[in-house]
C-alpha cells in the first residue's frame, strides 16, 4: 500500500510541474474519460459534463508540446532523487491531459507566461484515495522528498466551490534562485477520477484572468469532493 501511495503522490506532482513549466474499495471502476475539445473560446468535456472559457488570445497546447516541460520540471524538483524522477515519469500512464492553455507561446522569453491546466487522473479501486483531501495529503508527502533546485512552499487546504462542485484547493509558491512564482491546485474526485485545475501566475493581472477561467467553469451534473 505504501508503494501505491507513493505512485499517487508522483502523479499529483506531474500535473503541477506541467503547469509550472509552460479510494477506497467502494469507488466504482472508472469509465473512460474523453480529452474534450475547444471550439472558439469554449472548452467542453462530455465525460465530466463540463465547459470553461479560454481567455481571449490565449493559446492551447497539445500533449506532445507539453511533455518535454513535464520532464524538465521533474528534473528540477527531484534533483538527485532518481527514484522520485522514475516515479514521476511512470505516473503519466494514469493521467489524461484535458486542456492546457497559456498567455503566450511555450518557450516565450519576453516575460512570465501564465497558464491554466486541467487534467484527470484515474483512481484505482485500491488506491486508498476516497476524497480530494486524501489526494492532496499524499502530494504533500511526495513534495517533501524533492532534492532539486526548484523548491515548493505549500499553504493550507481550503474548500472552493467551482461550477457548483466542491474542490479542495491549495496555494503554493515555487522558487528557484531569484525566480518566484505562484500556483493554485484545485482537486475534486468525480466518477472515479481526480479532476484537477492548475493555475500558474506571477502577477495580480494573471491571477485575475485565471480566476475568470474558474468562474466560467460549469458542470451540468454536480459531484461531491
The residue to which cell 475547444 is assigned: 38
Q: Using a cut of 0.85, tell me whether the model's pTM lies above it.
A: no
- Phi, then psi, of 68 in degrees rounded to 5: -60, -30
Superfamily name and number for 2-219: Mog1/PsbP, alpha/beta/alpha sandwich (3.40.1000.10)
| pLDDT on residue 189 | 95
Q: In this predicted model, which residue has the larger pLDDT, 108 or 150?
A: 108
Average pLDDT over residues 70-88: 66
SS (H, E, C) 175-225: EECCEEEEEEEEEEEECCEEEEEEEEECCHHHHHHHHHHHHHCEECCCCCC
Q: What is the pLDDT of residues 39-78, one digit of tens each?
A: 999 999 999 999 999 999 999 998 888 777 776 666 666 5
The residue extents of the domains of the chain are 2-219
The residue to which cell 499517487 is assigned: 8
Mean of the per-residue pLDDT values of the chain: 83
Q: Cβ contacts of residue 193 below 8 Å, gap of 6+?
A: 30, 33, 96, 120, 121, 122, 123
Q: What is the pLDDT of residues 157-202, one digit of tens each?
A: 999 999 999 999 999 998 888 888 999 999 999 999 999 999 999 9
Q: In this predicted model, which residue has the larger pLDDT, 124 or 182?
A: 182
Amino acid at each position: 500500500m505504501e508503494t501505491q501511495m507513493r505512485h499517487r503522490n508522483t502523479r499529483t506532482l506531474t500535473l503541477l510541474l506541467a503547469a509550472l513549466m509552460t479510494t477506497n474499495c467502494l469507488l466504482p471502476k472508472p469509465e473512460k474519460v474523453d480529452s474534450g475539445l475547444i471550439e472558439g473560446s469554449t472548452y467542453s468535456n462530455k465525460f465530466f459534463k463540463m465547459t470553461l472559457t479560454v481567455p481571449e488570445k490565449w493559446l492551447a497546447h497539445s500533449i506532445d508540446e507539453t511533455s518535454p516541460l513535464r520532464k524538465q520540471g521533474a528534473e528540477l524538483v527531484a534533483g538527485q532523487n532518481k527514484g522520485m524522477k522514475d516515479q514521476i515519469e511512470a505516473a503519466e500512464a494514469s493521467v489524461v491531459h484535458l486542456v492546457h492553455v497559456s498567455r503566450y507561446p511555450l518557450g516565450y522569453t519576453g516575460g512570465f507566461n501564465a497558464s491554466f491546466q486541467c487534467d484527470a487522473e484515474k483512481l484505482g479501486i485500491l488506491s486508498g484515495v476516497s476524497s480530494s483531501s486524501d489526494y492532496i495529503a499524499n502530494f504533500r508527502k511526495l513534495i517533501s522528498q524533492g532534492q532539486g533546485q526548484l523548491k515548493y512552499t505549500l499553504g493550507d487546504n481550503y474548500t472552493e466551490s467551482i461550477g457548483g462542485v466542491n474542490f479542495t484547493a491549495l496555494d503554493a509558491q515555487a522558487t528557484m534562485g531569484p525566480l518566484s512564482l505562484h500556483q493554485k491546485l484545485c482537486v475534486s474526485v468525480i466518477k472515479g477520477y481526480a479532476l484537477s485545475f492548475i493555475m500558474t501566475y506571477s502577477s495580480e493581472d494573471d491571477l485575475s484572468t485565471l480566476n475568470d477561467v474558474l468562474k466560467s467553469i460549469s458542470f451540468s451534473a454536480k459531484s461531491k469532493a
